[in-house]
Structure 1
Amino acid sequence: MAFAHKTLKTPHCTFLCFILFLISSSQMTYSVSDGDALIKFKNSLANSNALSNWDPNTMPCQARWNGIVCFDGIVTGIHLKSMGLSGNVDVGVLTSLPGLRTITLEDNKFTGTIPEFNRLGALKAIYLTNNEFSGQIAPDYFSKMGSLKKLWLSNNKFSGAIPPSLVHLRYLIELHLDNNQFSGLIPELKRPPLISLDLSNNQLTGEIPLSLSSFEASSFAGNPNLCGQIVGKNCDQITTTNKGQDSGSNDSNNEEPKKKGKSKGLSTGVIVAVVILLVVIILVVCVAKKRKDQEKDIPTAYTKTVKAPENAKLASKANKISDGVVEVVEVAPNLSRKGSSQSSKRSNSSRRGSTKGAGVGDLTIVNEDRGMFGLIDLMKASAEVLGNGGMGSAYKAVMANGLSVVVKRMRELNKMETDAFDEEMRKLASLRHKNILPPLAYHYRKEEKLVVYEHVAKGSLHFLLHGERGAAHAELNWPTRLKIIKGTVEGLSYLHAQLAPCDLPHGNLKSSNILINLQYEPVLSDYGFNTMTNPSVVSTALFAYKSPEFTEAQTVSPKSDIYCLGVVILEILTCKFPSQYLNTTKGGTDVVQWVASAIAEGRESELLDSEIVSKSTSCKDNMVELLHVGAACTVPKPENRSSLKEVMERVNKVYAKDVGVQDERTIQVMPSLRDGVL
């Protein structure tokens, strides 16, 4: 974990250091203490069969323990959804996980009062939906959880007042307390970041605070004693008894707690003022150092500054671990004249595309659609770590001209020498289709490669389906999902036509490699790496090697891509996380077998995503039709699978029936990624 610790502790670490580290560092080390803590945590749970690969003789991040999210060897998330777990959650052992930021225990069988997650003050998100937690939550429960952004307690049996300490969570953006037994008044949640709220189906009383007037009435439905303009009920008609009781319960009819609260608030204000003063002093020192270096005409004199969050006046840290993902923000100032000249020479050298004798400073442009840039442009950009995948790590960089790119650190593309690798990359970069994302540039080293892509606005389909339940997830309605399926099939068909000689034209098609742009068009990425990937790891790095033909006969073919396509279609229709994506047999849902069994028993409609069907039952027949398409793509024997032509015909038939010819024409002329929309 050398990288994260250096980034957090080195006051003048530049983005140049950041890039050099990406290129030259070796495999990260892993923390044994994290594994010890997780094993103790597992032992506190009952029915933990789903955690069978939590082996104390292995390391959680290296062995990819079920439900564990990591960044460079640090455990950042515990996501144990739908695993049938119960027992007492031992929060105490989790205090030794300094990087832990998210906890998900949704859809399990936990009972009792809310666990002591307030002991983990750095948590960003807590998801406890669909359990049987009960009892009251202490009024000050959240007072030491200032980093909390997302709280989901839906569908439990919590009672009593909504904890007033929620009012002080300045970064809270999602609060879902629906379908519980909360009573009393709604606290005055004044913080502007709150964007998602659901307090429906409780026993809340009194007037809805004016600060929540931007939310719809559905956020408060099922609380008959609530009043206010939002729910269309005059508060004069509601008895004030509950209001008095709630006020009494919160304040205990005692002025002393108020005084303590004011005193505490005053102390906090003093502390914040001192911190702000220290940060200002540091910034002044940094600016002075920068000017001094520039006067000496040192071209490499970079100074780190801090990019403040939109909803905060001052960022006390430049590095944040948010929702299981580390974000690293660094900005380099303009170079001096001499430095600019040298930078221009280095950039021009990299732009010529030569890979002969490539060194640390070389970046080979293979696609000029988004303009010319060099490694120095990346050095001067702000950087954000997106996460890890089967092929390596991904980093987002926003350059001075506004272009956002993703730099992928590929550790396993070691099969080819320099010239052969350059030829393959240029072939992939030459492809043009609205549903294909070609690479822009690369950096070659024997040990690993950097591959640069254009950043796609809404992120991966995987994240939209299974990640945050924000506005982006809500927009995944049936027309949008159908559009994504259609675009994915079209993109894969194009790849199979252009890369016909390849055994695996794509090779790694899965929801995390399907990116979604502003128009909700899917864009396929990470294709064509089969011929470049180290043979010793290709079977674990590329998803096509999870197909039945490789498991049984150690062979792959273009039909393996069709198997991957089928898994994606089933994932979109059911919104279930496919167990096929995991390296073990534990966790997720075997969507292939699940759907095949349902079709055989004639109960396909039971598998469809309830969020979609509940909003529009008219789409059910078309969803069932596409469920059959996905099943036809995932039959065990590749020779019995549908061809891409057959899949395209069936999808287009559903699309024309569901959307209509006029809508289809409209979509066809919508600007694509290559038109410069992003």
Structure 2
Amino acid sequence: MAAVRVLFCFLLLVLFSLSSASETQSLLRLKQSLTNADTALSSWIPNVSPCSGTWTGVVCFNNVVTGLHLSHLGLSGPIDVQALSEIQGLRTLSFVNNSFTGPIPEFHKLGAIKSLLLTQNQFSGPIHSDYFNSLNSLKKIWLSANNFSGEIPHSLTELDLLKELHLENNAFTGPVPNFPQDLKSLDLSNNNLQGPIPGSLAKFNAASFVGNAALCGKPLDKPCDASSSYPLPGRANAAEDGYGYGSGWAKKVIIVLLVAVVAAVLFLFTTSRRRREDGDFRAVRRSSSAEEVVEVQVPSVRGERKGEPPKRADIVMVNDERGVFGLQDLMKAAAEVLGNGGLGSAYKAAMTSGLCVVVKRMREMNKIGKDVFDAEMRQFGRIRHRNVLTPLAYHYRREEKLIIAEYMPKGSLFYVLHGDRGTSHSELNWPTRLKIVKGIARGLGFLYTEFSTYDLPHGNLKSSNVLLSEDYEPLLSDYAFQPLINPSVAVQTLFAFKSPDYVQNQKVSQKTDVYCLGIIILEIVTGKFPAQYHSNGKGGTDVVQMVSTAISENREAEVIDPELENNTSSRKNMLQLLHIGADCTQSDPGERLKMKEAITRIEEVRV
């Protein structure tokens, strides 16, 4: 049984490693297919992980590429969709405002994609009626401001998850199909559409249909008569159109996966005789259907006498509110690789007791003695605040440390805002967002009391380090690490050192945390991915500049996340919070709010 577990562990680790390397190669092939990419995507280079934070437009979650936001980059040429299809975690694809031409690429091969944004290009020609048949996960489709023609593809009406459809400013003809989905956003304006508007779409305002002279019916002020009837388009036979992107493509995927597994097994058997290092913390990505328990191994740290078997130090509990567990419990846990961050790698471990924990493997604290580290971890373990994540246990080793905390199944604020929101999408309304901001502020207030002597009571405050409970209560993580990390590493890994305070003056202070808080506030209110999270400033949106410009031009309402457009009665409160975020992100720390003042003003915002 032990041999089987080792085999299974090695196999999945190899597959995971191959997948990570494959993503890099696939993205480099995509870059090679594009015109102007050498300049626009100059940060895409070999031997650097796409999830390192330096690759322009690449969005990752748990060290897996989930989105490509390649907007406003002047790109053109053919798009290597085959390379894109090899990025298994890809969910969002944006080529907004580039110079692509010709028919729509074969994006129908990207079966798991959730957002397809092609606005403001020069794509042209008709889109086959069955084009979207295999894209059952699509939620957002933005094809506006191109030169598409022909009828609106009927397959759009069969996408059960579709929420946003923007086809405005094209040359689509024919009738408006009946969309049975609960669409939240629709724009078909400025095309050549004809006939009556289906009753299911009458809930949208007239602006969604203007610029189509032959359309009639509500919400337009043009009633339909008998001559306005127009037959709805039927489905074309997919077997006759030559696409074959349903079952045929699935078979190809299966074949590729089988080949990969065989290759991994061969690799395993050719390397199985190599001696295994005693000191590796091992965990594997585990599929939801797997029933085998994967052994998690923690490095040994105790010396052993000659001839004696090696001993493994146990973990040290610093908080037993979730129960007491030991090394053996962790070793038998079903483990899953969550990803690699700046401070180390993370794993999810589900123990037989039912408790799920996150194990962070910290490699950048290697100059701290055991006594100092123990004292710090016990201080962390005494923290009790509903908006601060308290560690449960730790494991010490000179070369690296393991910090163990409770697993939050909803994930991080970053993931909820920019990743696959799923069912949480509709729940991320204004009251929920304000609740999150207030919880973050309250957690920071506690940290500023608990670690009042620190230059950076948090130091690494960003949306990926704000975890969310089942009821969207935020919990701050990765706080107060600066004194524990080597200074050179802190500069490279902690978000505080990407602030103007350090970039311009090589200084950080408690007001640097205020700046980081402001970035999160602007991120939550605008829904934009902050360019500030990238070390090179490329990719995402400069939310500070965007909001500052909007405020100076008295048009700040335009930058509020469109997802909040239904909360018109709370617009004043949203703008109030937006201004707080702007005041927190002043480039001059002297003009920036103090943390206490920022918290007070946040508490004054009402739903």
Same fold (TM over 0.5): yes
Q: State the match for 1:324 in structure 2.
A: none
Bigger mean CA offset, 583-592 vs 392-401 = 392-401
Change (3 A) 1:239 1:540: farther
Change (3 A) 1:488 1:79: same
What's the offset of the Cα at 1:186?
8.6
Q: State the match for 1:464 in structure 2.
A: 416
Q: Is the contact made by 1:491 and 1:523 (CA closer than 8 Å) also made in structure 2?
A: yes
Instruction: State the alpha-carbon separation in 1 of the partners of residues 323 and 179 from structure 2.
Output: 46
The partner residue of 1:643 within 589, 594, 605 is 594
Instruction: State the alpha-carbon separation in 1 of the partners of residues 53 and 397 from structure 2.
Output: 26
What's the offset of the Cα at 1:488?
1.2
What's the offset of the Cα at 1:650?
1.9
Bigger mean CA offset, 91-100 vs 498-507 = 91-100
State the secondary structure of the residue aligned to 1:490: helix
Q: State the match for 1:135 in structure 2.
A: 125
TM-score of the pair, normalised by structure 1: 0.66
- Deviations, residues 216-245 of structure 1 (Å, cap 9, x unaligned): 9659996799999x99xxxx998896437x
Instruction: State the alpha-carbon separation in 2 of the partners of residues 186 and 16 from structure 1.
Output: 53
Q: State the match for 1:37 in structure 2.
A: 29
Give matches, 1:105-254, under 5 Å. Answer: 105=94, 107-110=96-99, 112-113=101-102, 115-118=104-107, 120-121=109-110, 123-128=112-117, 130-132=119-121, 133-142=123-132, 145=134, 150=139, 152-153=141-142, 155-157=144-146, 158-163=148-153, 173-174=161-162, 176-180=164-168, 201=188, 203=193, 242-243=230-231, 246-247=233-234, 250-251=235-236
Q: Is the contact made by 2:61 and 2:419 (CA closer than 8 Å) also made in structure 1?
A: no
What's the offset of the Cα at 1:646?
1.5
Q: State the match for 1:575 in structure 2.
A: 527
Instruction: State the alpha-carbon separation in 1 of the partners of residues 83 and 13 from structure 2.
Output: 34
Q: State the match for 1:623 in structure 2.
A: 574
Instruction: State the alpha-carbon separation in 2 of the partners of residues 470 and 31 from structure 1.
Output: 24
Q: State the match for 1:485 in structure 2.
A: 437
What's the offset of the Cα at 1:498?
0.8
Instruction: State the alpha-carbon separation in 2 of the partners of residues 58 and 590 from structure 1.
Output: 24
Give matches, 1:407-556, under 5 Å. Answer: 407-468=359-420, 470-556=422-508
Q: State the match for 2:275 in structure 1.
A: none
Q: State the match for 2:347 in structure 1.
A: 395
Question: Identity over aligned residues, as a percent?
Answer: 40
Instruction: State the alpha-carbon separation in 2 of the partners of residues 173 and 95 from structure 1.
Output: 22
Could you say what the CA RMSD is over the residues aligned between the two structures, in angstroms? 5.0
- Deviations, residues 442-495 of structure 1 (Å, cap 9, x unaligned): 333444333222222432222233334654233333332222222211110100
State the secondary structure of the residue aligned to 1:537: helix
What's the offset of the Cα at 1:543?
0.7
Instruction: State the alpha-carbon separation in 2 of the partners of residues 216 and 457 from structure 1.
Output: 39
Give matches, 1:36-115, under 5 Å. Answer: 36-43=28-35, 50-55=40-45, 60-61=50-51, 64-69=54-59, 77-81=67-71, 83-91=72-80, 94=83, 97=86, 99=88, 101-105=90-94, 107-110=96-99, 112-113=101-102, 115=104
State the secondary structure of the residue aligned to 2:503: helix
Change (3 A) 1:106 1:481: farther
State the secondary structure of the residue aligned to 1:414: coil
- Deviations, residues 323-366 of structure 1 (Å, cap 9, x unaligned): xxxx744745589xxxxxxx9xx99xx9xxx9866966743322
- Deviations, residues 281-306 of structure 1 (Å, cap 9, x unaligned): xxxxxxxxxxxxxxxxxxxxxxx9xx
Change (3 A) 1:32 1:645: closer
Instruction: State the alpha-carbon separation in 1 of the partners of residues 362 and 205 from structure 2.
Output: 45
**Residue type of the partner of 1:130?**
T
**Residue type of the partner of 2:35?**
N
What's the offset of the Cα at 1:391?
2.2
What's the offset of the Cα at 1:648?
2.3
Q: State the match for 1:254 in structure 2.
A: none
State the secondary structure of the residue aligned to 1:452: strand
Instruction: State the alpha-carbon separation in 1 of the partners of residues 357 and 56 from structure 2.
Output: 31
Instruction: State the alpha-carbon separation in 2 of the partners of residues 592 and 108 from structure 1.
Output: 22
Instruction: State the alpha-carbon separation in 2 of the partners of residues 456 and 611 from structure 1.
Output: 28
Q: Is the contact made by 1:381 and 1:399 (CA closer than 8 Å) also made in structure 2?
A: yes
State the secondary structure of the residue aligned to 2:487: coil
* Alignment: residue pair count: 552
Instruction: State the alpha-carbon separation in 2 of the partners of residues 222 and 639 from structure 1.
Output: 46
Instruction: State the alpha-carbon separation in 1 of the partners of residues 365 and 11 from structure 2.
Output: 21
**Residue type of the partner of 1:476?**
L
TM-score of the pair, normalised by structure 2: 0.73
Instruction: State the alpha-carbon separation in 1 of the partners of residues 333 and 174 from structure 2.
Output: 50
Q: Is the contact made by 2:34 and 2:75 (CA closer than 8 Å) also made in structure 1?
A: no
Q: Is the contact made by 1:608 and 1:623 (CA closer than 8 Å) also made in structure 2?
A: no
**Residue type of the partner of 2:142?**
L
Change (3 A) 1:140 1:573: closer
Unaligned runs of 5+ in 2: 259-282, 304-309
Instruction: State the alpha-carbon separation in 2 of the partners of residues 463 and 575 from structure 1.
Output: 12
Q: Is the contact made by 2:131 and 2:153 (CA closer than 8 Å) also made in structure 1?
A: yes
Change (3 A) 1:30 1:179: closer
